Amino acid sequence: MLIEMQDVHKIYRMGKTRVHALAGVDLQVAAGEMLAIMGPSGSGKSTLMNIMGCLDRPTRGAYTLEGEAVAELDNNALARIRGERIGFVFQTFNLLPRTPALQNVMLPLMYQHGRDRRRLAEEALARVGMADRMDHRPSELSGGQQQRVAVARALVTEPAIILADEPTGNLDSRTSREIMQLFRDLNDEGVTVVLVTHDQEIGDCAKRIVRMRDGRIVTDGPAPHMHPQEMSAGAEESVAAAEAKGSLTPSGSSPPTSSVSS
Ligand code: ADP
Ligand code: MG
The whole-number pLDDT of residue 133 equals: 97
CA of 12 to the centre of ligand 1 (A): 8
* Alpha-carbon gap, residue 235 to 205, rounded angstroms: 15
* Alpha-carbon gap, residue 256 to 260, rounded angstroms: 8
The whole-number pLDDT of residue 150 equals: 98
* Alpha-carbon gap, residue 62 to 46, rounded angstroms: 18
| pLDDT tops 90 at residue 212 | yes
Q: Which of 9, 14, 25, 46 to mutate to test the pocket of ligand 1 (most atoms within 8 A of CB)?
A: 46
| Binding site membership of 175 for ligand 1 (Cβ less than 6 Å) | no
Chain centroid to Cα 77, Å, comes to: 22
Cα separation values, 77 from 49, 110, 130, 152, Å? 18, 17, 33, 24
Q: Where does 3-244 sit in CATH, by number?
A: 3.40.50.300
* Alpha-carbon gap, residue 211 to 32, rounded angstroms: 20
| pLDDT tops 60 at residue 215 | yes
| pLDDT tops 60 at residue 103 | yes
| pLDDT tops 70 at residue 125 | yes
pLDDT band at 261 (very low <50, low <70, confident <90, very high): very low
CA of 78 to the centre of ligand 1 (A): 21
| pLDDT tops 50 at residue 258 | no
| pTM of the complete model | 0.87
pLDDT band at 244 (very low <50, low <70, confident <90, very high): low
The whole-number pLDDT of residue 253 equals: 43
Domain ranges of the chain: 3-244
DSSP 108: G
| Binding site membership of 17 for ligand 1 (Cβ less than 6 Å) | no
% of the chain residues with pLDDT over 90: 82
| Binding site membership of 10 for ligand 1 (Cβ less than 6 Å) | no
Express each pLDDT in 154-166 by its tens digit. 999 999 999 999 9
Interval 86-93 mean pLDDT: 97
Atom index in ligand 1 nearest the CA of residue 48 equals 6
Interval 222-248 mean pLDDT: 65
The whole-number pLDDT of residue 186 equals: 96
